[in-house]
A and B are shown apart, each in its own frame.
Chain A
C-alpha cells in the first residue's frame, strides 16, 4: 500500500497549531495542576510534577506514568515479528522465513505487508 505517512506530504499539509501559543511542558503542567487543584489535591504535591499525583504505584519499584511522552526507547531494538519479539522457532508456515532478521540490517518486508500486497495486486 502506498499511503504517505502523516506529515510526509510536506508543504500541502495544513499546520493545525498555527495561531496558538507554543505548547511547552511547563504550560501543560500548569493546566494539569489547575484541574487537580479543583479536586482538592494538596498544593505541595502540585509544585513540580503535578502529573505524578495520577501515577500508579506497582509492586516493582517503578511508577506507571499517567501520560507517556514519546521519548522513551524500548529496552532492546526489536523488529515486530522477528526475534526477540517472537520465538526463534520461526514464523508460521505461511509467513516468509526470517532470513535477514538481525536488527541493524535492512528491514525485511513485514509479513503482514507482504501478505497484503499479494492480495491487493
Chain B
C-alpha cells in the first residue's frame, strides 16, 4: 500500500530448492519478492531467490526483489551473538551485479512483538538501519546506495494515530541519520514496510482481529507506508485458512482500490495533534536511538541484554495495565463471550517458536487467554464451567451497571456467572421480555 501501491503475498514455507517452483509464473521483474528467512539459512535462501530470478531470465539490472537479510533480529530471537559482517560481505558481492536489489531489513517488530513501546520500536529500527549502513560501508558500498537497499519493518496496531505518527516520526529520524552520513536530501527517504501487529492479535473472539487489522492497515497507509502486510485474523491461532487469507488480501485491496488511500500523500500532516504526537515520538525515539548507540550500537545492546531489559520494563507496565483492564482488549478483557467455541487450526510451521534466552513473542491477550484455556480444560474434565452466582438486588435499573461489570470481569477470566433476579424483579405479564442483567453483547 502507500503511494506506490505495492502489495505483498505470503507464500507457504517449503524447502529452499523449491523456491523457484513456488515463484513460477510470477513476473519477478514487476512484482518484487521480499524474503523472510531468519536463522542460519538466510544466505542460502538469498542465493535461491537470486537463482530463481536467473532461471526466469530476469536481467540483473531489473532484479527489484529484496533479500530480507536481518542477522540482528535473527540473533536476538535465537539468543545468540549477532554478526552483521558476514551478511554484509555477502550482500555487497551481489549488490554490485544487481543495482536495484534490496539487501537488509531493519526490523522494529522484534521490539514491538516483545511488548516494547513505540519509541523503542522506532529507535531500535533506526539503530538497526544504522548498523547495516555501517556494515555495508565497511563492505565497500556508499551510504546513499546502501540506504536505498535497506527496508524498514514496523508494526501497525489498532491505535490509529499512534501508528500514523510513528511512521512519520521514523522517516524524520532516518532523514537525520542520512544527513549525518552526507547523503543528499533527495535520497534520504525511507523504504517503509508496515506489517499488522502480531502482538495485538487475539485467539479468543478472533474475528475482532479483522477490525484491528483494518484500522492498522488504514493507519499504515495514511502514515505513508510503501508496503503493508496484513496478517490473517486467525494467524495467532494457527495456519490461516483460505477465508482468513482472502479477507486479509481484501482488506488492503479495498483500502487501495475503493478508499483510494494510496492516492493521497501524508493526509494527516498539518494536524496539530498528529504533528505534536509525531514530534514527541520523534524525540523519545531519537533519545532511545542515542542511548543504544552510546552502549555500542544495537548489536551490543542485543548481545549484552540492554535492549531486552528496556523492552521488559515496558512490557511489565503494559501487562499491569492490561491486567487491570485500563488497556482493554475487546472480546478478551471487555465483552468476552463465555459461550465461545475456540477456533481450531493446524499448527503453522512458519511461526517462530520463542527460544529460551532469546527475544520473546508476546501477545497482549496472552494472560487472559491462559485463564480461558484453563477454564476450558476444567470444563472438559469435569463437565462444569467455573462459575459465580451474582446476587442482583432491586430492579434491573438499580443493578445492571454493577452486574454487567462483574459479569464481564468474571467472564474475562473464564468464569460463567449466573444471575437470578426473580425474587426482586417482577416481569410484566405480557410486556417485552427483559434482557438478563448481563447485557453486554
A111 near B265 with CB under 8 A, answer yes
A60 near B185 with CB under 8 A, answer no
A-B contact pairs, 13 of them (CB 8 A): A59-B117, A59-B317, A60-B118, A64-B280, A72-B272, A75-B283, A83-B187, A84-B188, A84-B190, A86-B3, A86-B266, A87-B191, A101-B186
Q: Which of B3, B5, B264, B279 has the most CB of A within 10 A?
A: B3
| Chain B: interface size category | 35 or more
Q: Looking at the complex, which one of A78, A88, A89 makes contact with B172 (CB distance below 8 Å)?
A: A78
Q: Looking at the complex, which one of A62, A68, A101, A112 makes contact with B185 (CB distance below 8 Å)?
A: A101
Inter-chain contact total with CB atoms closer than 8 Å: 114
A114 close to B (CB within 8 Å): no
Footprint of B on A, CB under 8 Å? Answer: 58-62, 64-65, 68-70, 72-76, 78, 80-81, 83-89, 91-92, 98, 101-103, 111-112
Interface hits, B67-100 → A, CB 8 Å: none
Residues of A within 8 A of B283 (CB): 62, 75
B279 near A74 with CB under 8 A, answer yes
* Interface contacts beyond A72-B275, A80-B266, A103-B185: sample of 18 additional A-B pairs, CB < 8 Å, sorted by A: A59-B117, A59-B118, A60-B280, A60-B281, A62-B284, A68-B272, A69-B272, A74-B275, A75-B283, A83-B185, A86-B3, A86-B189, A87-B3, A87-B192, A88-B148, A88-B186, A88-B189, A92-B3
B190 near A60 with CB under 8 A, answer no
With both chains docked as a complex, state the minimum distance between the C-beta of B67 and any C-beta of chain A, in angstroms. 17
With both chains docked as a complex, state the minimum distance between the C-beta of A61 and any C-beta of chain B, in angstroms. 6
A86 near B276 with CB under 8 A, answer no
With both chains docked as a complex, state the minimum distance between the C-beta of A109 and any C-beta of chain B, in angstroms. 13
Given the interface contacts A59-B117, A68-B273, A88-B189, does A81 sit within 8 Å of B265 by beta carbon?
yes
Question: With A and B bound together, what is the CA distance between A68 and B270 in angstroms?
Answer: 12
A84 near B174 with CB under 8 A, answer yes
Footprint of A on B, CB under 8 Å? Answer: 3-5, 117-120, 148, 162, 168-169, 171-172, 174-176, 185-192, 224, 226, 264-266, 269-270, 272-273, 275-284, 314, 317-318
Residues of A within 8 A of B120 (CB): 60
Residues of A within 8 A of B189 (CB): 83-84, 86-89
With both chains docked as a complex, state the minimum distance between the C-beta of B121 and any C-beta of chain A, in angstroms. 10
Residues of A within 8 A of B162 (CB): 58
A72 near B279 with CB under 8 A, answer yes
Residues of B within 8 A of A89 (CB): 4, 148, 189, 191, 226
Residues of B within 8 A of A72 (CB): 272, 275-276, 279
Residues of B within 8 A of A74 (CB): 172, 275, 278-279
Residue of B nearest to A78 (CB): B172
A76 near B148 with CB under 8 A, answer no
B279 near A73 with CB under 8 A, answer yes
Residue of B nearest to A61 (CB): B284
Q: Looking at the complex, which one of A62, A69, A75, A86 makes contact with B224 (CB distance below 8 Å)?
A: A86
With both chains docked as a complex, state the minimum distance between the C-beta of A115 and any C-beta of chain B, in angstroms. 9
Question: With A and B bound together, what is the CA distance between A111 and B284 in angstroms?
Answer: 32
Question: With A and B bound together, what is the CA distance between A73 and B5 in angstroms?
Answer: 30
Question: With A and B bound together, what is the CA distance between A59 and B265 in angstroms?
Answer: 29
Residues of B within 8 A of A70 (CB): 272
Residue of A nearest to B265 (CB): A81
A87 near B190 with CB under 8 A, answer yes
Question: With A and B bound together, what is the CA distance between A52 and B5 in angstroms?
Answer: 41
With both chains docked as a complex, state the minimum distance between the C-beta of A51 and any C-beta of chain B, in angstroms. 14
Given the interface contacts A80-B265, A83-B175, does A75 sit within 8 Å of B186 by beta carbon?
no
Question: With A and B bound together, what is the CA distance between A100 and B276 in angstroms?
Answer: 27
Question: With A and B bound together, what is the CA distance between A87 and B102 in angstroms?
Answer: 14
Residues of B within 8 A of A58 (CB): 117-118, 162
A75 near B118 with CB under 8 A, answer no
B117 near A60 with CB under 8 A, answer yes
Given the interface contacts A60-B119, A72-B276, A103-B185, does A86 sit within 8 Å of B169 by beta carbon?
no
Residue of A nearest to B170 (CB): A84
With both chains docked as a complex, state the minimum distance between the C-beta of B412 and any C-beta of chain A, in angstroms. 22
Residues of B within 8 A of A92 (CB): 3-5
Residue of B nearest to A84 (CB): B175
Question: With A and B bound together, what is the CA distance between A75 and B172 in angstroms?
Answer: 7
B187 near A88 with CB under 8 A, answer yes
Residues of A within 8 A of B5 (CB): 92
Residues of A within 8 A of B185 (CB): 83, 101-103
B284 near A86 with CB under 8 A, answer no
With both chains docked as a complex, state the minimum distance between the C-beta of B226 and any C-beta of chain A, in angstroms. 5
Question: With A and B bound together, what is the CA distance between A74 and B226 in angstroms?
Answer: 22
Residues of B within 8 A of A60 (CB): 117-120, 280-281, 284
With both chains docked as a complex, state the minimum distance between the C-beta of A80 and any C-beta of chain B, in angstroms. 4
Question: With A and B bound together, what is the CA distance between A58 and B279 in angstroms?
Answer: 14
Residues of B within 8 A of A62 (CB): 280, 283-284
Residues of A within 8 A of B191 (CB): 87, 89
Q: Which 5 A-B pairs have the closest CB atoms?
A: A88-B189, A84-B175, A59-B117, A87-B189, A75-B282
A98 near B272 with CB under 8 A, answer no
Residue of A nearest to B176 (CB): A76
With both chains docked as a complex, state the minimum distance between the C-beta of B8 and any C-beta of chain A, in angstroms. 16
Given the interface contacts A60-B117, A60-B284, does A85 sit within 8 Å of B272 by beta carbon?
no
